[in-house]
């Protein structure tokens, strides 16, 4: 018995030496490209000690950047969440011609360079743009102001919730919803009592990634912001300014906030993935 298991293992695996060599090379690569930069953020943030760290975060310009970033994320995440759920409902629960084209179009913002994403809003709302003269005549500022930052961020975070929910809802089918409706539930009751509990971890997954990108977007926001200190700077733009002024410790202190956000995002994402996987396998077992 023992002999057969070892010979079976040797047929579908490698000698221990090869295994450990491959593991070491992979881990060395990941340590060099992932862990080292991550450690460097925190090491440099605390380079001048705790007090300097806290002082850097209490700078008025930094506080206003934090405030603007929170505001932008608060504006972007709900609209893209609502869109994501509605789009996933239409795409995953119904069949219609042109569905795969629609999915590709929804994914489009992911393939566009962030710089181009910002530029297109300048072309529409900027002074030289389509609506620029009209907006100026009415005293409305979009580009080089907060609305432009919000719009560009909505664009770059547009697909996150939808692309997570579409495959999840497709895999769940529509039997449960049809049963609820047949039993007399209304459409909204069906959604909140049947569909939503099934997709809640998928929603969390989409929201957390959407939020991370909304708070961390740099290229697109950099094009439309105009970099007015204390008024149109988000956290990533503030990091850039501090870095370019050679206030490295301060730049890394502010950057460490975003690195923490990334770590929290990864933790919640891993939890959500685990819960989604669990939900799917319970579904399979019931069938």
Partner 1 sequence: MGSFGTKNTVLPGFGPALGYTIFYLSIIVLIPLSALFFKTATLTWDQFLVAVTSPRVVASYRITFGAALFAASVNAVFGVLTAWVLVRYRFPGRKLIDALVDLPFALPTAVAGITLASVYSPNGWLGQWLEPRGIKIAFTPLGIMVAMIFIGLPFVVRTVQPVLEELDQEVEEAASCLGANRLQTFYRVIFPTMLPAILTGFALAFARAVGEYGSIIFIAGNMPMVSEITPLLIITKLEQYDYAGATAIATVMLVASFVLLLSINLLQKWSRRFAE
- For partner 1, the binding residues in 145-204 under the rule CB under 8 A are 151, 154-155, 158, 174, 177-178, 181-182, 187, 190
* Closest separation in Å from C-beta 218 to partner 1: 4
Question: Between 62 and 81, how does the x/- string for binding to partner 1 read (CB under 8 A)?
Answer: --------------------
Stretch that binds partner 1, among 51-59, 60-68, 198-206, 215-223 (CB under 8 A): 215-223
Phi and psi, residue 110, nearest 5°: -70, -25
Quote the tokens at residue 255. 């950057």
Query: For residues 185 and 82, what is the distance between their CA atoms, to the nearest angstrom?
Result: 22
CA 17 vs CA 6, 13, 20: distances in Å: 16, 11, 5
The single residue among 55, 61, 64, 93 that binds partner 1, judged by CB under 8 A, is 93
**Backbone φ/ψ region at 234: left (φ over 0), alpha (ψ -120 to 50), beta:** beta
Taking alpha carbons only, the member of 32, 77, 57 closest to residue 207 is 77
* Closest separation in Å from C-beta 118 to partner 1: 9
* Chain residues 254-283 in contact with partner 1, contact rule CB under 8 A: 255, 258-259, 261-263, 265-267, 269-270
Quote the tokens at residue 148. 């432009």
The single residue among 65, 142, 239, 253 that binds partner 1, judged by CB under 8 A, is 239
Beta carbons of 284 and 277 less than 8 angstroms apart: no
* Chain residues 108-137 in contact with partner 1, contact rule CB under 8 A: 108-109, 111-116, 119-124, 126, 128-130
The single residue among 65, 75, 207, 215 that binds partner 1, judged by CB under 8 A, is 215
* Closest separation in Å from C-beta 216 to partner 1: 3
Query: For residues 269 and 210, what is the distance between their CA atoms, to the nearest angstrom?
Result: 11
* Closest separation in Å from C-beta 20 to partner 1: 9
Check binding of 96 to partner 1 (CB under 8 A): yes
* Closest separation in Å from C-beta 119 to partner 1: 5
Is the C-alpha dihedral spanning 153, 159, 165, 169 positive or negative? positive
* Chain residues 5-64 in contact with partner 1, contact rule CB under 8 A: 8, 11-14, 19, 22-23, 25-27, 29-30, 33-38, 40-41, 44
Phi and psi, residue 177, nearest 5°: -65, -40
* Closest separation in Å from C-beta 60 to partner 1: 20
The DSSP string of 180-221 is: HHHTT--HHHHIIIIIHHHHHHHHHHHHHHHHHHHHH--HHH
* Closest separation in Å from C-beta 144 to partner 1: 12
């Amino acid at each position: 018995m023992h002999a057969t298991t070892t010979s079976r293992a040797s047929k579908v695996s490698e000698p221990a030496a090869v295994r450990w060599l491959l593991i070491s090379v992979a881990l060395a690569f990941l340590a060099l490209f992932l862990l080292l930069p991550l450690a460097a953020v925190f090491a440099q943030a605390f380079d001048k000690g705790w007090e300097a760290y806290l002082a850097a975060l209490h700078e008025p310009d930094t506080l206003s950047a934090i405030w603007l970033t929170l505001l932008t994320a608060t504006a972007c995440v709900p609209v893209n969440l609502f869109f994501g759920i509605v789009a996933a409902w239409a795409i995953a629960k119904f069949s219609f011609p042109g569905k795969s084209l629609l999915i590709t179009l929804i994914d489009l913002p992911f393939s566009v360079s962030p710089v181009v994403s910002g530029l297109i809003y300048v072309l529409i709302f900027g002074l030289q743009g389509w609506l620029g003269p009209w907006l100026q005549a009415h005293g409305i500022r979009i580009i080089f102001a907060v609305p432009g930052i919000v719009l560009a961020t909505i664009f770059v975070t547009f697909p996150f919730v939808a692309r997570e929910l579409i495959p999840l809802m497709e895999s769940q089918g529509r039997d449960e919803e049809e049963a609820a409706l047949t039993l007399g539930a209304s459409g909204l009751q069906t959604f909140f009592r049947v569909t939503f509990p099934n997709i809640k971890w998928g929603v969390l997954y989409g929201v957390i990634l959407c939020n991370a990108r909304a708070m961390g977007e740099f290229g697109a926001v950099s094009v439309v912001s105009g970099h007015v200190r204390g008024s149109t700077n988000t956290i990533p733009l503030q990091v850039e300014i501090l870095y370019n002024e050679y206030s490295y410790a301060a730049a890394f202190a502010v950057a460490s906030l975003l690195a923490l956000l990334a770590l929290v995002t990864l933790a919640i994402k891993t939890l959500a993935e685990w819960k989604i996987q669990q939900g799917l396998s319970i579904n399979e077992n019931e069938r």
